[in-house]
Structures are given as structure tokens and as C-alpha cells.
Amino acid sequence: MKALQALLVVGARPNFMKIKPVLDALEIRGVDCLLVHTGQHYDAKLSQVFFDELGIRAADEHLNVGSGSHAVQTAAVMVAFEKVVDREQPDMVVVVGDVNSTLACALVGAKAGVHVTHVESGLRSRDWSMPEEINRVATDHISDLLLAPSPDGVANLAAEGITGDRVALVGNVMIDTLLSNVDQARERPILDKLGLERKGFGLVTLHRPANVDDPAELDALIGALGAISTDYPLVFPVHPRTVHQLDGINMPEGIIVTEPFGYLDFVALQDAAALVLTDSGGVQEETTVLGTPCLTLRDNTERPITITEGTNTVVGRDPEAIVAEARVRLENGWPVRRPALWDGMAGERCADAIIESVRARAARRV
């Protein structure tokens, strides 16, 4: 029997941790996998370091699309990826997450009549101001197989009329990567380098437009973080899109501003922090598994399981509420819980579901 051929797509930092378990599991099962890097995140700190630290093999195709508006970037990925699909004639396209590359490559695959799998399906914030929400919903509705990380994802898809063989509950592939690397991360000397003690500091990440594009909003958030940092120093690795927005903002003394960390150092910091304050979806998930209290500086989350079965609280962007909740969490902590199927085996379940779906589709067309 001829080996199945798959195109697996990565484009931005969150994708790299999610694709590796699926790539490895498909290759173990004999699938001929081509890894396509769209280049949506082109900064080495947001891309190559993850390949190096996670042991992801070099991409087979680099589309090199770089930055641009949502329209420019999505269109550039589609044009470049279509050439790869036309040349390779794959049996399947596998996309992960919710970045522009996810939607762009799903569109190309669907229009070419190729089986499309979306890993991390069904997540919904119901906030249409988020580009990621548009990408998630559109990708789910044009994909052949939707692999959900949690039961709420399955329920969201059912509410939108997507049920049956198109949907599988597989667990969280990013947690596969976390569990495979957490022991190595804990051996990193990053705490010593920063002069920090375990559970004696907090960690901050901010990158979403609602938090960083409005100078007044960002200044208010920095003020809240400054109040927290009088009790606990806060490490703030600054995302490239946030750097210029910080110009002119008086940074409180207790906030330690750094460049982005590699994957292992960032996991080490999440694991050792007394509290994490973030607007990142992936960080909400990782802190849940690590048992670190997390405050989400947004009005919503597409990952409610991190609240009901994890360590996350959605606190919004009001400075007084942020400071008050941070002090409660620093004093009282949070019970450590882990959602079902966040067990390090999600990649295996993904691979089995993908192969079964692709073969079933082919059989129906005979």
C-alpha cells in the first residue's frame, strides 16, 4: 500500500509546540510528512529557537511570507502554499491552532479537494474583535476532521452543527510537548541568571492588540503590574509587537523587562513563578498543568476548561481588579487540577484519528 503523504503547517510560535507530537506520531505510523514553515513568525527568538530546543527537524518547505497586515499575510501564505499543494498532491493537510497561516493553508487545502485536519478545534472566545476567533471558526467549518482538546470544544462544534465522524476529542497536543520537556526545563539556570528564587516572583506576557495597541490601556496595565511588583518582582519578556508600544511608558522598578525566552527557559519560569499574568491562550493551558496560578488579563477566554479544571482566572483589564485578585492568589494559591486527556498522549490519538479519517474518505470515493 502506498504511504500516505501529509503536509503539516507551522507559521508562528504557538504552532511549534503543537505540531511536534502530531508530526512524530504520524511518521511513526509510516506517513510521509512534509513540514511546511510559512514564516509568519520570522524572528529567530520566535521560531528557530523552538526547532532547536524541541528537536523539531528542519522544515521541508519555507514559504518566507514574513509580516504584514492580516490580508497581506493570509494572501501571501495562500499563494505560496498553493504551489506546494499543486506540486506534492498530498493526501492530507494538517493545520494547528488559530494563526493566519492556519486559516490560509486550510483554505488552500479545502479548495484543492485535499483532506484537511484542524488540530485544536472548537475553541471559542465569542469575541469577534480577536483575529484568532475568526481564524478558528472559519478553519473549523472548512476542515474535514476537527480534533478538539477538551469537551467544551466538542460542545461548541455541536452547537454549530458539526458532529459525528468529523469531530474527535483527543486532548491537548501542546501539553504533550510540555510534559516531555518539563524536567529538562527545570534544570535550566534561568532563575540564577535573573537572580530569582522559586515561587518568589511573577511572570507577565502581553501581546494582544486590546492590551498593547492603546497607549492608555497599556499604561494602566503597567501601573497595575507595578503595584504587584512591590511585593513580587515581575519578569516581563516583551513580545516584538509590544516593544515600540512601551516607548514613553515609565516602567516600575519591580518589573524586569527582557527579550523573549526560548521554550525551555519560559517553561522553567512558568513552573517556578508564584503567579503568571497573561493574555496568551497557551500560557493558560501550560500553567494549569504546571499548577501555577494564572490571571488572564482579558474579558474572555476560549479555554474555559483552564478555569473549571485548572488554575486560571479571567480577571479582565481593570487595574484595581487585577491587583486585588493577584494579591488573593499570591496569599492563597489555587488547587492543582489537570483536565482529562491532557496526559501526554494527544499526539498519538491525533495521528490515529487522522489516518482513519483520510482512509475512510478515500474509501467513500472509490
Q: Point out the residues that are catalytic.
A: 207
Element (H, E) at 282: helix 281-290
**Going by DSSP bridges, is the β-strand pair 312-314/92-96 parallel, antiparallel, or unpaired?**
unpaired
Residues 350, 22 contacting (CB under 8 angstroms) = yes
Angle, vertex CA 92, rays to CA 32 and CA 283, nearest 5: 90
CA 31 vs CA 1, 85, 114, 307: distances in Å = 11, 16, 16, 37
Q: Alpha-carbon Rg of the chain, whole angstroms?
A: 20
Cell readout for 102 is 492556519
Residue 198 CB neighbours (<10 A): 12
Residues 190, 265 contacting (CB under 8 angstroms) = yes
Task: Indicate the SS3 state at residue 182.
Answer: helix
Closest CA to 210 of 100, 299, 285: 299
Cell readout for 311 is 488554575
Classify residue 321 as left (phi > 0), alpha (psi -120 to 50) or beta: alpha
Closest CA to 19 of 5, 8, 33, 27: 8
Q: Compute the distance between CA of residue 93 and CA of residue 85 in angstroms, rounded to an integer.
A: 9
Q: Compute the distance between CA of residue 163 and CA of residue 167 in angstroms, rounded to an integer.
A: 6
